[in-house]
Each structure stands twice: as C-alpha cells, then as structure tokens.
Amino acid sequence: MSAVVVVGTQWGDEGKGKVIDFLAREADMVVRHQGGNNAGHTVVVGEEEYKLHLIPSGILYGDKLCVIAAGVVVDPRVLFEEIDYLERRGIKTDRLRISSQAHLIMPYHARMDALSEDRLGVHKLGTTLRGIGPAYMDKAARVGLRVGDLLQPEFFAVRLKRVLDEKNRLFARAYDAEGFDFDEVLQTYLAYGEQMRPYVANTSVVINQAIDEGERVLFEGAQGTMLDIDHGTFPFVTSSHPVAGGACIGAGVGPTKIDQVYGVVKAYTSRVGDGPFPTELLNSVGSDIRDRGHEYGTTTGRPRRIGWLDSVVLRQAARVNGLTGIAVTRLDVLDGLAELKIAVAYRYRGEIIHEFPDSAEMLDLVEPEYETLPGWTQSINQARRLEDLPKEARAYLDRISELTGTSLVLVSVGRERTNTIPLKELY
Ligand code: GDP
Ligand code: IMO
Ligand code: MG
C-alpha cells in the first residue's frame, strides 16, 4: 500500500506540478481532491510545456488513472477546454474519472466572485475570479449543484430553478447587476452533463480500491498551506483545504490510509494575490528574482510577489500537514545571488516569536528576523546528485531541513523532468 499526499507549504505555485509529474512516473493513480481551476500546475516535458488547471498532472503519462475527487469544484466549460487542449496535443484523456459528488462551478459563481471583489475595493482578496469562493459557499450553504445532478436532468432543472431565482434576486437587489437566463443555463449545463457522463464515477470507491490493492496513489494538492481556509492567512486565503487533511476529506479516504506527506518548498517565497507577506522583497532583489524565475501567475498572468524563504511559514506547514519530507524546488533561480536570507523567527512589538501568528492583524505587524547564508556563483541546473551542488547550496538545503525539522526527499534545479535530484525512495 502506498498513498502519498503532495502539498504546497507556502502560498501556492511552489512547483507542485513538476514534483507530481516526477513522482507520477511510478504511480498508478493521481488524484486532485480540492480547489478548482484557480490552480495552475506547469509541467515541462522536453520541449513541451503543459499548464493544467483542473485535470491531475498524471494525465500526461497516458497510463495513469486520473481522478477529480469530491472535494474539487468543477467548472465544466474549463474541464472540456482542458480535455480539448490535451487531446489536441496528443494526450489521451479516457483514463479520467470525475466524482459525481464534486460541486459545479456555475456562471453565477464567477460573476459573484467579481462583484464581491469589486465591492471590497482596496480590501479585496485578489482572487483568481474563477468563482471558487462562491462555489464553496454554496456547498457549505447546501444549495450547490453537483456533477451527479447533471445526470438526472429533471432533478437538475428543479434545483437549478430554485437556486437561480435566488441568485438573480441577489444580483438585482444587492448588486444592481444582471442575472442569468434559466433556459440558457439549463441547456448549456445539461449538454455538459451528457459530455461528462462517461467520466463520472464514485471516486471514493475507485481510490480506496486502488490503495487496498497495493497500487501507488498520488494526491496532488493545489494552492498551499498559507492559503488554507483554516490554517492559512485568513481572510486572504482560498475557500478549500490545501493542507494534507484535505486529501482525506476531499477524496473520501481515511487518514490511516496515507503513508507519506511531502511538502513542496520553493527555495524562496512567492505570493500572488493580496494579504500579509512578512518576508516580501519590495526592492530590486525581489524584482530580480521575479524576472529570472519568470514569476508570473500560471492562471491569471499576474506578477507574483517575491520574498525570502520563511521558515516560520515552513514550520507551520510541517506541523499542520504532518510532513514526512520536503521537496525543495527552484533552487537554480537563486544562482548568482551573493547572499541568501531565511527568516528564522518574527519580531512582534519587540518580542521574538517562533510560531506562526494566528491572526492576520498580528502577521501584518511582524518583522522577520533573518539569518544570512552565502550564495553560490555557478549554475546548478545540470546537477543530478547532491554532490554535484556547490557546498553553499548544500548548506542552504541543510539549513532548510534543520529549521523545518523535516528531511529532504527531492531537490529540483530546473523546469524539466530531468532537472531533478531524488534523495530517497519516494514511495
Ligand atoms: P504549482 O502551482 O505549485 O504547480 O507551480 P506553478 O506551475 O504555478 O509554478 C511553478 C513554476 O516553476 C512553473 O513554471 C514550473 O515549470 C517552474 N519550476 C518548477 N520547478 C522548477 C525548478 O526547480 N527550477 C525552475 N527554474 N523552475 C521550476
Ligand atoms: P496553485 O495550485 C497561487 C490565491 C489567489 C488569492 C487567493 C484566493 O497553482 O498553487 P481564489 O480564486 O482561490 O478564491 O483566490 O488564493 N490562489 C493561488 N495562488 N497558486 C494557486 O494555485 C492559487 N489558487 C488560488 O491568488 O490570493
Ligand atoms: Mg500554480
């Protein structure tokens, strides 16, 4: 039995797609269990670059069963665009399964996302505007529509009518905005339902069966620990559970079935969207790292905010995820920097704190306490073993491992599959 959860330890975009792709080579199944098309996972295979938002990255191999589990919110338009995008590039998608329990992103969710961000003005969250928050709101309010509902057209029509009437009233009265035409939404979604039918399954059964039969199942986290609705920088978070426990809830798998939890750590920090970011670099060092790392959002194209590595964040991630190992990515982006800093603690009103603050207000006021390490001058892109790395790079990695209390399992030194240094048996 081998079930491995891969999570982001920071604010997303740590390189989960790359790490999953590397691990997926030896997996039988790859599962997305939370989030939706707010995610953007990039995988580079030789000359080819793939950007995936909804479909698990394992799809690129052709022989892995890929599952979109119950905890994901699915925008069918995006799903079929992604299926087309992959098929056009010669990637088969017949091994995709979608949970009948996954909630649907409806057109009114994206509109509500935009309207509420607009109304928040300077206090906006900087969402991806994909309707993620409003879709999870409807799920929690028990008025969401699910993939399985689409397969029962009469039932779907009745529920949609009730929900849409309410949404249209809300758009008109609270936002002075236009609503949606019932027949149009109904026809569009029923057509999606017919297209989706061959993929729909009871995915909790599918996943548990695979684990029980000793297959290797990989859980592909989206977003990152700091964007978790409970354990992140609330309210500047997403509306799902990117932490490892989210894999159990979202996939319908018990915690006793999980063997390993790997945290993906970008060798520095980035954040796209608003909210506190203690180690943010608002100077030329930050813009230099952004340029050399091409740090622009995979989903929205927004420039990512850049900062030094923050071990207070990583310790929070190690704790709330129960990490059994860390995979450090993008180490090569730091090539040529004279020195590197790591936040080891925060200073809050003159006092040193070592644990991640539990309030956004406090996080806004902390000053990082840095430790400085020497950088390296050579390019590390071609390193294939730890010994190929300059001693300064190895010292930086050792310090990350020490500060997080978690052992290194993999180091990534470039975008391609081959630019990877595995450090142990990963399953
Ligand atoms: P994800 O959302 O966590 O999957 O990360 P994204 O795909 O949004 O962003 C990570 C970016 O870093 C992608 O463009 C990857 O191709 C790239 N990447 C991943 N690992 C490395 C690495 O070790 N070095 C470099 N230079 N780029 C990397
Ligand atoms: P991957 O999987 C980085 C951020 C948004 C915003 C906040 C809420 O590629 O790492 P949402 O649209 O989810 O309601 O936006 O979360 N965000 C991400 N940031 N990577 C992601 O996914 C993200 N998904 C959401 O920028 O700050
Ligand atoms: Mg991303």
- For residue 9 and ligand 2, the question of a CB distance below 6 A is answered with no
Cα 13 to ligand 2 centroid, rounded to whole Å: 9
The residue nearest atom 16 of ligand 2, judged by CA position, is 238
Q: In this structure, which ligand is nearest to the CA of 272? A: 2
The mean pLDDT value for 274-301 works out to 92
324 C-alpha to center of ligand 1: Å? 22
Residue 194 has pLDDT above 80, yes or no: yes
Active site residue 41: yes
Q: Supply the residue whose CA is at minimum distance from atom 28 of ligand 1.
A: 415
Residue burial 153-191, b: 16+ Cβ < 10 Å; e: rest: eeebbebbeebbeebbeebeeebeeebbeeeebbeebbe
Does the beta carbon of 54 lie inside 6 Å of ligand 2?
no
Question: Is the CB of 271 within 6 Å of ligand 1?
Answer: no
Ligand 1 atom with least separation from CA of 224 = 3
Is the shortest distance between the CB of 220 and ligand 2 below 6 Å? Answer: no
Cis-peptide, bond into residue 107, ω within 30° of zero: no
Which ligand neighbours the alpha carbon of 223 most closely?
2
| CA 419 to ligand 1: nearest atom | 23
Element (H, E) at 96: strand 96-99
What's the CA-to-centroid distance between 299 and ligand 2, angstroms? 9
Which residue's CA lies nearest to atom 6 of ligand 1? 13
DSSP 121: G
Q: What's the pLDDT tens digit per position in 365-391?
A: 999 999 999 999 999 999 999 999 999
Residue 1 confidence class, pLDDT cut points 50, 70, 90: low
Does residue 135 carry a pLDDT above 70?
yes
Name residue 98's beta-bridge partners. Answer: 68, 200
Alpha helices in 89-145 (DSSP H): 107-120, 132-140
The tens digit of pLDDT for each residue in 36-52 reads 999 999 999 999 999 99
266: β partners: 329
pTM of the predicted protein model: 0.97
Condensed to tens digits (0 to 9), the pLDDT of residues 348-369 reads 999 999 999 988 889 999 999 9
- Concerning whether 13 is annotated as a catalytic residue, the answer is yes
Which of 75, 127, 305 has the most ligand 2 atoms within 8 A of CB, as the residue to mutate?
Answer: 127
Q: For residue 392, is pLDDT > 60?
A: yes
Beta bridge partners of 351: 348
CA 210, CA 20: separation in Å to the nearest integer?
18
pLDDT attached to residue 208: 98
Structural domains of the chain in order of their starting residue, each with its CATH number: 2-90+202-422 (3.90.170.10), 103-199 (1.10.300.10)
Whether ligand 2 lies within 6 angstroms of the CB of 127 is answered as yes
15 lines ligand 1 (CB under 6 A): yes
Using a 6 Å cutoff on CB, does residue 418 contact ligand 1?
Answer: no
Indicate which atom in ligand 2 lies nearest the CA of residue 275. 27
Two tokens, residue 318: 């190690």
Annotated active-site residue in 33, 41, 231, 241:
41
What distance in Å separates the CA atoms of residue 199 and residue 67, rounded to the nearest whole number?
9
Q: How confident is the model at residue 300 (pLDDT cuts 50, 70, 90)?
A: confident
Q: Is 332 in the pocket of ligand 1 (CB under 6 A)?
A: yes
Please tell me the residue having the least CA distance from ligand 2 atom 3. Answer: 12
